[in-house]
Structure 1
Amino acid sequence: MLVAVQSIQPSSVQYERLSTSFSIVIDALRIWASLSVLASHIQFGWFGKYECRLFMNGHDAVIVFFVLSGFVIAYSQAKNHRDFRSFVAARLLRLHSTVIPALLITLILSVATSFANPEFWGEHARGHQALSYFACLLFVQDIWFRNMVPSFNGPMWSLGYEFFYYAIFATVLLKQSWTRWVSAIALALMAGPGIVLLFPIWLFGVASYRLPKICMLASTLIFMISLLSYVTIASNGFEHPSQPGTPPLLYANAFVSDWLKGGLVAVMVYSLRTILDFEVHARACQWMRRIGDLTFPIYVVHLPILALFGAFAKKHPGSNEADSPGLLLVALLAITVVSVALEASRSQVNAMMLRFVDVALNRKNVSVTSS
């Protein structure tokens, strides 16, 4: 697997600008995946029985996110040519600028949920909550058969996977010393088999940007075959070797079917680079990008908000009580408002984090000098 990463040499990557039509479709796919995760949690039954047939299941949506993440990182690195330090800094800022506020929101809403409906909270609360928040800050929440995420923020599991994918990618490609191989193997061993097993899906996304384009006819045929195959497999609920989310590999339990689905998504993305090689109105692209940028905040804050309003509705999975569409609508509005606020404040959070790092480094330099 590390050899596959090594074959993607940054020096040989030629930056290719993406068309506005392609960008719109990729942003639309991000939005659909994010809403699919949201829809899968609405179906927990906290607000009554709802079926969201227009969306894929939540785990398949995360697989789509992994493919798109690999694609975007490959595109961004080809465009910006960051060195190791700047790459790691950019990734950590992007993650922490949303994760830290999201964890704070999760903590506040979890406490509110425990007061709103202690029985509801007790049924869903996990142990070692303080440790789970700390693990999420370090992105080690899912190493080695663990799933240390806050009680009402299960989607945090995937961020630990992505963190290690970024780290291995940067270590192999952006470090020059032979020790990069030792470092990459150490990172893989630290991550554990679950995270490593889904790494090929992320690399499929990288390849979908790196591979050279082919002709329009071949791209169209490949896209149609891949789309038909994906719909057939996903609609039949194919999960192999076992259902994701259960021991021993937890969210990597269905790694074989996840490889297949992720590969098909990557092939479709690759084909669309040729099919959608035309421009549309720039303003449409800008608006779609703004909406697409909300997908990360929505992903990390929607479940604690749903849980709080679900507690007020006094609903439980399998309940025969009347539906609560009003509370669900209020919850969806709250998710939208909080997500917009998080994205709008991201630059300010980035600036605060950079100032904190500068102060910490300056203090360290002063202490070293004085000693």
Structure 2
Amino acid sequence: MTAPAPETRASSQPASSTSAQEERLPEAASLLLDVIRFTLAVLVVVGHASMPWFSTGWPPLLGWADVAVPGFFVLSGFMIRYVTEDRERDPRRYFISRASRMYSVLLPALLLTLVCRSYISWRNPVYATVLWRAQSLPALGANLVAHLLFFTQFWGHAVLVSPNLPLWSLGYEVPYYVLFGLFALCRGPWRWIAAALYVAALGPQVLFLAPLWWSGCWLYNLWQWSRQSRARSAMTAALALVCSLALLLPLAHPALWTRLALLPNPLTALGQPHGRATMLAYSSGLVSWMLMLLGLCLSDRIRLSKRAPWARPVRRIAEGTFTLYLFHYPLLCLVPPTLGHVLRSGWSTTLLVLSIVALCVALSQPIDALKNRMRRSLTARFA
């Protein structure tokens, strides 16, 4: 993600607030979103694992990753709208939650990236030149600082600490968190000044995809509106189904995705490189938007208990989404220099992907504990 969506479950809070949150996000919808976010992360991993400097056992599937990330943007906007409706209306609590969520995964991911970088440079310097360009220590340090400030995609730049390609999306998603907090939660004229300065520093490249992220907030509002009556819900579900089919049928042709990526981009008219801010992101994001709306409307017809025996494993696996998203790429990079060659069979590539998924799900538990410690520490200091 975009990074992947924030937590979907409430922490300790008053009972009345808890019941209100459950009413706004019933168990069936919550589990659906868990499945969606984990599936999107797996699509990103599969797309990257098929790249030729990791494996030749699979056909090229990188397009799966390209269409999954915009879905993360939509889901992220949806969840931010949900958690701020009751639980995080206070701006300090909101920013503390976002900071602890981001840094608890980003810091270990950066550490893993640097360790993998050192190992690859020692084990196979030639392979290292395939993964990243030569870079001085001061430049690497500056890139690390840019990532810690989530200021990596400003004004057409694309700063990256290699080898961890998925870090790019945080340079979009976290600024959207900041802008949402300023506009939706803060009060007073100073927020407009702060937002204007922040937008001016970010530049048009990051702002170009902001409506895609914000559409997740509108998706939440539309779904809540549809749930007020069965007629509304049925009408919304039918419209989402028709729109989804109308979008998916023509997009089933692979060549069309290539044409979408080449559509005229307003950033080009401004003389700005667009990088990953493409029309393809909007096209795949729209498909994700419609499918999520359809799934949410259908989930309203299902009543599930939190005590369902299969619900807990689903939640446990989904908790590894963000870890999987930020950890998988440097882990993939370790395999060729260790083996001395890229993976050459589909079975070995499948086994590698499953191993990385299992490892990241296991690592998510201590990372979640780190998030909770960071949140408590920041709350004690600032709130």
Q: What TM-score, normalized by structure 1, do the two folds share? A: 0.82
**Hey, what does 2:209 align to over in structure 1?**
198
- Residue equivalent to 1:248: 273
- CA contact under 8 A between 1:120 and 1:314: conserved in structure 2? no
String of CA shifts for 1:112-144, please: whole Å, max 9, x gaps: 112222111122223332222221111111112
Would the aligned equivalents of 2:45 and 2:353 in 1 still touch at CA under 8 Å? no
Q: 1:42 aligned to 37, 49, 70, which one?
A: 49
Q: CA deviation at 1:175?
A: 1.2
Aligned to 2:290: 267
Distance 1:203 1:64 in 2: 12
Residue 288, structure 1, aligned to residue 314, structure 2 = yes
Letter in 2 for 1:310: P
Contact 1:20–1:285 (CA under 8 A) maintained in structure 2: no
Provide the identity percentage: 26
Residues 336, 262 of structure 1: CA spacing in aligned structure 2 closer, same or farther, 3 A cutoff? closer
2:58–2:346 Cα contact (<8 Å) kept: no
Return closer, same or farther for 1:56/1:228 CA change in 2, 3 Å cut-off.
farther
Q: C-alpha deviations, 1:187-246, integer Å up to 9, x for none?
A: 212222111000001111001111211624322322222322342336431324379xx9
Which residue in 1 is equivalent to 2:251? 233
Is 2:235 the counterpart of 1:221? no
Go from structure 1 to structure 2 and tell me whether the alpha carbon gap of 1:44 and 1:26 turns closer, same or farther (over 3 Å shift): same
**2:303 paired residue number:** 279
* 1:24/1:285 contact within 8 Å kept: yes
Q: Mean Cα displacement is larger for which, 44-53 or 160-169?
A: 44-53
Structure 2 residue runs of 5 or longer lacking an equivalent are: 1-19
Shift of 1:84: 0.9
For residues 106-125 of structure 1, the aligned pairs below 5 Å read: 106-125=113-132
1:276-316 C-alpha deviation (Å, 9 max, x unpaired):
11213533333222211211101101011101102234446
CA contact (8 A) 2:320 2:362 kept: no
Deviation at 1:334, TM superposition (A): 4.7
Partner of 1:134: 145
Change (3 A) 1:175 1:356: closer
Change (3 A) 1:181 1:240: farther
- Measured against aligned partners, the alpha-carbon deviations of 1:237-292 in whole angstroms (never above 9, x if no partner) come to 1324379xx9811111x1x3422332342233234332211213533333222211
Cα 1:175–1:354, aligned 2, differ >3 Å: closer, same or farther? closer
Once the two structures are overlaid, the 10-residue window that deviates more, 26-35 or 151-160, is: 26-35
Shift of the alpha carbon at 1:357? 5.5
Spell out, residue by residue over 1:310-361, the C-alpha distance to the aligned partner (whole angstroms, 9 max, x if none). Answer: 2234446xxxxx7155764564355235413431112432355357758988
Secondary structure, aligned partner of 2:187: coil
Q: Contact (CA 8 Å) 2:56, 2:344: kept in 1 or not?
A: yes
Structure 2 residue aligned with 1:65: 72
Task: Name the SS for the 1:95 alignment partner.
Answer: helix
User: Using the alignment, how far apart are the partners of 1:28 and 1:158 within structure 2?
Assistant: 21
Contact 2:91 2:181 in 1 (8 A): yes
Q: Deviations over 1:21-41 (max 9, x none)?
A: 222222221122111111111
| 1:37-71 per-position Cα deviation (integer Å, ceiling 9, x unaligned) | 11111111222240377x96212111000000000
8 Å CA contact retained: 1:64, 1:265:
yes
What is the RMSD of the two structures over their aligned residues, measured on CA atoms? 2.8
- C-alpha spacing 1:30/1:234, structure 2 compared with 1 (3 Å): farther
Contact 1:39/1:52 (8 A) holds in 2? no
Give the length in aligned residue pairs: 338
Amino acid at match of 1:44: M
